[in-house]
Structure 1
Amino acid sequence: MRTISGGLAAGLLAASLAASLETATAQDARPPAPGRPHNVVLFVPDGMRSRMVSAELTPAMAALRQAGVDFANSHSLFPTFTTANGAAMATGHHHGDHGDFSNTIYTGTPIAAQDRTVTPFVEHDAVLGDMDAAFDGDWLNEETVLRAAARAGYSTAAIGKVGPVLNFDHTNRTGDPTIVVDDQTGSNVGIPLSPEMRRRLEAVGLPLAAPGRGENGKAGSSTVPGTLAANVDQQAYFADVATKVVLPLFRERDRPFILVYWSRDPDGVQHNEGDSLGRLVPGINGPTSRAGMRNADDNLAALRRALDALGLAATTNIVVAADHGFSTITKESATSPAARLSLPDVPAGLLPPGFLALDLARALDLPIFEPFGERAPVPANARPRTASALIGRDPADPDVAVAVNGGSDLVYLPKKDLAGNAALLRRIVDALMAQDYVSGLFVDDAYGPVPGTLPLSSIHLKGDARTPTPAIVVNFRSFTTGCDVPVTCVAEVADTVLQQGQGMHGTFSRADTHNFMAAIGPDFKAGFVDPAPVSNADVGRTLAALLRLEIRAKGRLLGRTMTEALTNGAVPEIRAGTLRSAPHGTGLATVLRYQEAGGQRYFDAAGFPGRTFGLD
């Protein structure tokens, strides 16, 4: 194990990253073989943990992994959230380039589709349209794989969970050429169906509007358990659309295609599960969460049966990649002033939603405001309604904006005064270091070395993004509750409206970074366990390689083609290392555990030792 510490860390790291990124930029998405490209299906079982896949619980995933490529050393990108990792798959770039830093980000400009908020939750088709309008017509700032495939004349479709599905071709608002079917299909905010899709859906007896989640969408409260149902009905509709309409249509067209199928389960049910209200055990490992895993598995099995029936299996590559892992929520803190408040629907002594913003406002002695509508002040002994908040004397020109997400939060300093912001940032870092729920801080490189923190560039969060770059990314504490496979029973502090005992992700623990990945098809090796680290940015690059797409990159934070998993590909040299910040005055230091392969750096876990699962 190679360890770097002290003042040399930032300089050595910058040089290493520059060399790695030059290598990545030079690696073109080369075709795996001559002739017509094979088709591609990307199947995303949202929130599927790698170590939960088994022949008993998820037989379709287990069989695909065994027969094809097992990416045993897989990585979700931090912050480990859905739209951020979906954007990495869609573009082949890390978060610092595509700018989708988390599910909720700070935009600096009001987003009309969500009551003029400046901290939008981007899993929404109309919000994504507003985001494009706010950022020069393309908020991700990189061409997506589906957009490039459509430009090349291939058939393209994205089906499933709203938000990440549309992000694969978000600048297309017409439903043609890319077919988009998600939760909002058929509503006044969804992407319209083309006349051809409408005719074909009607021909097989499928509705023109997607069903809702029903019981699966019920999160419960502090006194009422959440759902006991998987997202079966809605996903059955999506699977029918894919297998009875889209794949037959693509077969008729007889040209290469790419289909993205995003299964909301097990993510949706793990978030809302009602098996463990207030308790960390079984947490997200109860029967309801397991039903969600099986639901996603059933969707994959249905897609494979359809490919077989249509004669497409032999010419189609299937890549399975979860966006992130998962953990059980804990709301416990002995240091937070917010945990001592008496608030509706918050059990006594537990952290309320918005605790980070509340604690920062108190530490800075500044007022706190809602980030939407008229920017109303948050009353004393209350919390921000959506948990995100603005802090400062003037909500129209705030000193601080907090975008709340779950296992990590984003802190922005919107004012343009770099010197003033630098002093404010030091005060914020000092306040965060005093909280037991914090485990590691990452700071914008513009502020130089800050004791106790590592720079955003060290984890590929400093790039060419069009959206505002966070000043601080706050990672929360995580720990295992103890079981036979400790990574499957990790708990994490989460800033969320969900309850203790339900599910969340977003931290830099190995439980959240270890997503499930596997692949099978004519361009992949058979029965191969890949020892090399791979990431969701690599998924995007590999999809482009399989389809032989030429995509001109704007930023330099690219993934790599996973050539070792392709026929005749060689496994790259793998190295491991640790990066450690200079200590803060409290003695706390942010530690990053990583691997290197193929000119890329992969991040296993980070935080304060003893507070992040996977560091020890």
Structure 2
Amino acid sequence: MRRVILSCLVGLSLAGSAQAQPQARNVVLFIADGLRDGMVNAANAPTMDRLMRAGVRFTNTHSLFPTFTMPNATAMATGHMLGDTGQFGNTIYTAFPVPGAGESLTPFLESDPVLGDVDAHFAGNYLNEETILRAAHAQGLSTASIGKLGPSLVFDHTARSGQDSILVDDSTGRPGGIPLSEELRTRLGAAGLPTQAPTRGTNGQAGTAETPGTLSANVEQQSYFADVATKAVLPLFRERGKPFVLVFWSRDPDGTQHNQGDSLGRLVPGINGPTSLAAIRNVDTNLATLLAALKEQGLADSTDVILTSDHGFSTISKESATSFSATLAYKGVPKGQIPPGFLAIDLAHELGLGLFDPDAKGARLAADAFPSRANGLIGTDPAKPDVVVAANGGSDLVYLPGGDKALARKVVEALTRQDYVSGLFVSAALGPIPGTLPLSAIALDGSALTPMPAIVVNFRSFSTGCSDPTTCGVEVSDTGLQQGQGMHGSFSRADTRNVMGAMGPSFRAGLASPVPASNADLGKTIAQLLGLTIPGKGQLVGRVLTEALANGSTPTFARAVLRSEPDAAGHITVLAYQTVGETRYFDAAGYPGRTLGPDIPALTAAAEAH
């Protein structure tokens, strides 16, 4: 029997209730992709630090698990958790060949064409929920989303003409990109800005096992996006004289931390080297540019600015003493390290089945080859796989297209023998399996249209011993990047602890809020600030962050721990979480001793006190 242990019910007693805004507000949602909360201080990110000191700093923050960009983008955009949106990772199994992804069954969704293909397959809206930008535009507000390819489009992904919401991302001006309206083209020309977004340049170079990755932040591309926002879009919105909502999604520090070349093969400094710090300063500069423009254009007093990051970040480990894949030799993989696709390779070996590459037209993989994008189709026929692995980084998704319960148990048994596994979550349709928790326990079982994973695999994580473990986390990662570079996606507190803050006329001043908050809450809160009513199809939703609003009420919250039954080897999946009413917030999960978070009692309290 699973046991729920409630520890410390925290009561906060400020009276009052959230009130409707007396006048129209503008909203700017600024996302610093992959920014760790513990890295935001006066030295590293002075603009962000000042914003949260003047307004609200949420000190008990939560990224949604799996802690990847696209899942958390959908949470912000809709206010729904992943069991409703179906965005279970950056890479998912779609059960159909996606044209924009080379006919892959496991597409990477940070792509405008791929998102269009997936939308088309799932009745025009694969998320099955309305986004805040779509609702805002429908009610006459000006809307724009600018920045990183993939998550920027998610905020209004069903309108692709360029005539509704303004969309500017990496693909702007290139084949497959969303077109620009003539109105915006004119504005860009008047501001001396090109209609084609620059590439990442050297920042996009990830290196190899022998060659370090980038040593520069993503300055040029993000300066362009900031200029588009401040010199073209904001002046346009000001002249329209209507309320607006602007989303600015900064690729830094995420992109730089992934690719950084400061720590090739080494866990220290990992993602804490000079290149990663430069990326944090870069995004802080972008925010400063945006805030200055709001002030200069007379918009600051009527604009609420919300700051968040989609997830935290960790350094990559590629080490395992149990993996079959680590005993083989692969081109470009250091001897003894696990290759990209190690989970698919190990499962195929354990099950005695063939392994095929979904990103190479289903080609069968030889013993000395790993999947090109780490994904795998396992079985005898790639067109009808028994097992599908969608590799994502700090966690992987395993699908069983046939729903075979006996096969599910075999897969779980194989996974529990690996030292890189730390916690398993299984679909309730496969029955209870010792050592695992159900997907419903972490809000992954809902009304989603996309196929639901059978098993979500969390990978081992730990810290390198710094004073704040969430700033020096390490995780085993199923990725083409190298040991010592950066990744996220795990159930480590280093990945679930993101940044959240707010400042503006709707928010309190000088508040450090200890109430748990998540990216799903931002979608609900922004909808209220804009006066939007968005009917939901699914029930897995965030809440309005009333504790941060002027004259808003502060709710109570509780902490809890959920433990699975032990498996035959004694493995227990432990989930540490919090609740505000019916809304759940997931701190960390995994096998005790293998996940950074639930087995460190002082960690959550230390993070909240930051």
Please state which band the TM-score falls in when normalised by the shorter chain: over 0.9
Name the CA distance, whole Å, in 2 between partners of 1:202 and 1:8: 62
Q: What SS does structure 2 have at the residue aligned with 1:492?
A: strand
1:556 and 2:559 equivalent?
A: no
Name the CA distance, whole Å, in 2 between partners of 1:196 and 1:316: 23
Cα distance per residue 1:276-323 (max 9 Å; x no partner): 000000000000000000000000000000000000000000000100
Q: What SS does structure 1 have at the residue aligned with 2:363?
A: coil
1:230 and 2:230 equivalent?
A: no
Structure 1 letter corresponding to 2:82: H
**Do the aligned partners of residues 255 and 276 (structure 1) sit closer, same or farther apart at CA in structure 2, a change above 3 Å counting?**
same
Q: Which residue of 2 aligns with 1:177?
A: 164
Is contact 2:359-2:372 (8 Å) kept? no
Q: What SS does structure 1 have at the residue aligned with 2:397?
A: strand
Cα distance per residue 1:201-237 (max 9 Å; x no partner): 0111100000000010000000000000000000000
Structure 2 letter corresponding to 1:166: L
1:508 and 2:491 equivalent?
A: yes
1:423 and 2:443 equivalent?
A: no
Match of 2:365 among 378, 387, 411: 378
Match of 2:295 among 305, 308, 312: 308
Match of 1:55 among 42, 65, 90: 42
Unmatched 5+ residue regions in structure 1? 1-5, 14-29
Shift of 1:36: 3.0
Q: Which residue of 2 aligns with 1:24?
A: none
Q: Which residue of 1 aligns with 2:442?
A: 459
Cα distance per residue 1:543-583 (max 9 Å; x no partner): 10110101010000000000010011122111111000000
Structure 2 letter corresponding to 1:521: G
Structure 2 letter corresponding to 1:363: E
Name the CA distance, whole Å, in 1 between partners of 2:141 and 2:205: 39
1:412 and 2:399 equivalent?
A: yes
Structure 1 letter corresponding to 2:481: L
Structure 2 letter corresponding to 1:96: G
Q: Which residue of 1 aligns with 2:140?
A: 153
Cα distance per residue 1:93-135 (max 9 Å; x no partner): 0000001111000000110011100100000000000010111
Structure 1 letter corresponding to 2:492: S
Unmatched 5+ residue regions in structure 2? 7-16, 600-610
Name the CA distance, whole Å, in 2 between partners of 1:58 and 1:549: 32
1:112 and 2:109 equivalent?
A: no
Match of 1:322 among 298, 309, 312: 309
1:102 and 2:102 equivalent?
A: no
1:293 and 2:258 equivalent?
A: no
Cα distance per residue 1:320-348 (max 9 Å; x no partner): 01000000000010000001110011000
Q: What SS does structure 2 have at the residue aligned with 1:248?
A: helix
Within a 5 Å distance, the mapping from 1:596-615 to structure 2 comes to: 596-615=579-598
Q: What SS does structure 2 have at the residue aligned with 1:259?
A: strand
- Normalising by structure 2, we get a TM-score of 0.95
Shift of 1:408: 0.1
Shift of 1:372: 3.4
Q: Which residue of 1 aligns with 2:433?
A: 450
Is contact 2:60-2:513 (8 Å) kept? yes
Q: What SS does structure 2 have at the residue aligned with 1:138?
A: coil
Q: Which residue of 1 aligns with 2:530?
A: 547
Is contact 1:454-1:590 (8 Å) kept? yes
Within a 5 Å distance, the mapping from 1:257-276 to structure 2 comes to: 257-276=244-263
Name the CA distance, whole Å, in 1 between partners of 2:289 and 2:364: 50
Structure 2 letter corresponding to 1:440: G
Cα distance per residue 1:130-182 (max 9 Å; x no partner): 01011110011100000000001000000000000000000011112100000
Match of 2:476 among 483, 493, 506: 493
Shift of 1:260: 0.1
Structure 2 letter corresponding to 1:548: G
Q: What SS does structure 1 have at the residue aligned with 2:331?
A: coil
Match of 2:126 among 121, 124, 139: 139
Is contact 1:216-1:231 (8 Å) kept? yes
Q: Which residue of 2 aligns with 1:434?
A: 417
**Do the aligned partners of residues 267 and 336 (structure 1) sit closer, same or farther apart at CA in structure 2, a change above 3 Å counting?**
same
Cα distance per residue 1:472-513 (max 9 Å; x no partner): 000000001111222211110000000000000000010000
Match of 2:190 among 200, 203, 224: 203
Shift of 1:34: 4.0
Shift of 1:386: 1.0
1:188 and 2:171 equivalent?
A: no
- Normalising by structure 1, we get a TM-score of 0.94
1:480 and 2:467 equivalent?
A: no
Is contact 1:175-1:193 (8 Å) kept? yes
Match of 1:125 among 109, 112, 115: 112
Q: What SS does structure 2 have at the residue aligned with 1:468?
A: coil
Q: Which residue of 1 aligns with 2:202?
A: 215
Shift of 1:8: 6.1
Shift of 1:385: 1.0
Q: What SS does structure 1 have at the residue aligned with 2:67?
A: coil
Name the CA distance, whole Å, in 1 between partners of 2:313 and 2:159: 31
Cα distance per residue 1:512-564 (max 9 Å; x no partner): 00001100000000000111000010011111011010101000000000001
Match of 2:58 among 65, 68, 71: 71
Name the CA distance, whole Å, in 2 between partners of 1:320 and 1:7: 37
Q: What SS does structure 1 have at the residue aligned with 2:284?
A: helix
Structure 1 letter corresponding to 2:177: G
Q: Which residue of 2 aligns with 1:26?
A: none
Is contact 1:32-1:545 (8 Å) kept? no
Name the CA distance, whole Å, in 2 between partners of 1:491 and 1:211: 32
Shift of 1:597: 1.3
Cα distance per residue 1:402-428 (max 9 Å; x no partner): 00000000000112xx4xx10000000
Is contact 1:412-1:469 (8 Å) kept? yes
Q: What SS does structure 1 have at the residue aligned with 2:347?
A: helix
**Do the aligned partners of residues 344 and 126 (structure 1) sit closer, same or farther apart at CA in structure 2, a change above 3 Å counting?**
same
Bigger shift: residues 483-492 or 38-47:
483-492
Shift of 1:35: 3.3
Q: Which residue of 2 aligns with 1:86?
A: 73
Q: Which residue of 2 aligns with 1:339?
A: 326
**Do the aligned partners of residues 297 and 32 (structure 1) sit closer, same or farther apart at CA in structure 2, a change above 3 Å counting?**
farther
Is contact 1:32-1:523 (8 Å) kept? no
